[in-house]
Amino acid sequence: MSGGVDSSVAAHLLQVQGYEVLGLFMKNWDETDENGDCPAARDYEDVQKVCHQLDIPCYSIEFIEEYRNHVFAEFVKQYEAGYTPNPDVLCNREIKFDLFLKKAIEFGCDYLATGHYADLRPRTSLATNHSKNELIRAFDQNKDQTYFLTAVPGPVFDRVLFPIGGMPKPEVREIAKKLGLATHAKKDSTGICFIGERKFKTFLNQYIQAKQGYIVNLEGERIGTHDGIAFFTLGQRKGLGLGGEGEPWFVVGKDIEKNELTVTRGVDHPALYSPGLVAREMNWFAGAPPAMSFDCTAKSRYRQEDQPCHVTVTDEGGTGSEIRIDFVEPQRALTPGQYAVLYLNEVCLGGGVIHQVIKN
């Protein structure tokens, strides 16, 4: 239980279904915010209130050291290398659906249930012994979180429940309101958990040694300076400090060795678009890709609409650890370090880290 409305209602629904429910709160970060408050402490207070209302026991479990070593350290490492990582995907793989699941089992639990907007259904194909369930999109497409689950090993979902995956968000809030749960009006959490309401650049500057470099245009002409290449991502507009008449400037390239940002004017400039990408560290929920070459849809960032594409397995052994994705339509600001997640209709096939962006 996170201290939010989704996990609160999930606990209630499990009770209604006859499960014996135990509330477990996961603390991964121990810094205070700019006001001296600890967000994790406030969230746990809400968990305690809800557990008291539902008459279920609750416990707080700390993974602060593990989170720093397995998620945050990788986050900083990737930013220093010029990539744009996704710590929420890493947290789900390394902490929530690994260490946290194991801790729940130690408590005697048969399943780990969360407030994720995702769903599971029994796998109909007998072609794999990898897992009994396949991951499918949530009923509420606006809240679907399968993108963030793409790195979780498939067999893990055999011990996972998503009680609200088949419900629209307004219904979840209405249930919480009718029950009078302490979290019924609590705002959804947004952004990266360990940054909170702080400015991203200010936070990152505490952990990365920024080095000033040049900003160049597509012709290689120096037109400005930046205060750290790690603070910028492809497609970014704000924070460049470039003015002048004409359309706004956008980041279209990062040269780590030269410590240079490449920019160009225009929200729809061709340099912002790419026909495809190469993804590595692929995680297939069925244990393997459906074929060596196939058509499906993909998301290269959360909340993006599905993009039709063709997928080709490119690693030497044919295991599917590396793939090439060729999109039907060029995609804007494909970003190394983010995840490419594949779908076949409502089924999430899996995904991997964007390693290379294919240029025209």
Distance, in Å, from the CA atom of 151 to the CA atom of 288, rounded to the nearest integer, reads 14
Instruction: Based on the residue annotation, tell me whether 91 is a catalytic residue of this protein.
Output: yes
Measured from the Cβ of residue 191, the count of other Cβ atoms closer than 10 Å reads: 11
Q: What angle, rounded to 10 degrees, do the helices at 39-54 and 5-16 form?
A: 20
> Which one of 38, 51, 58, 91 is the catalytic residue?
91
Tokens of 260: 């240079």
Bridge partner list, 224: 215
Distance, in Å, from the CA atom of 294 to the CA atom of 278, rounded to the nearest integer, reads 15
Q: What are phi and psi of 139, to 5 degrees?
A: -60, -40
Q: From residue 204, how far is each of 209, 229, 323 by CA, in Å?
A: 9, 12, 31
Which residues lie closer than 8 Å to 295 by C-beta, 6 or more apart?
308, 309, 310, 311
For residue 154, give the nearest of 321, 346, 287 by alpha carbon: 287
> Which one of 51, 58, 193, 348 is the catalytic residue?
193
Measured from the Cβ of residue 61, the count of other Cβ atoms closer than 10 Å reads: 15
Please give the helix or strand (H or E) that residue 96 lies within, else none: none
Query: Whose structure tokens read 């006859």?
Result: 18
User: How long, in residues, is the chain?
Assistant: 360
Distance, in Å, from the CA atom of 2 to the CA atom of 7, rounded to the nearest integer, reads 6
**Residue 329 contacts residue 320 (beta carbons within 8 Å):** no
Which amino acid, residue 171? E
Secondary structure of residue 208 in the 3-state scheme: coil
For residue 349, give the nearest of 302, 318, 311 by alpha carbon: 311
Catalytic residues: 91, 193
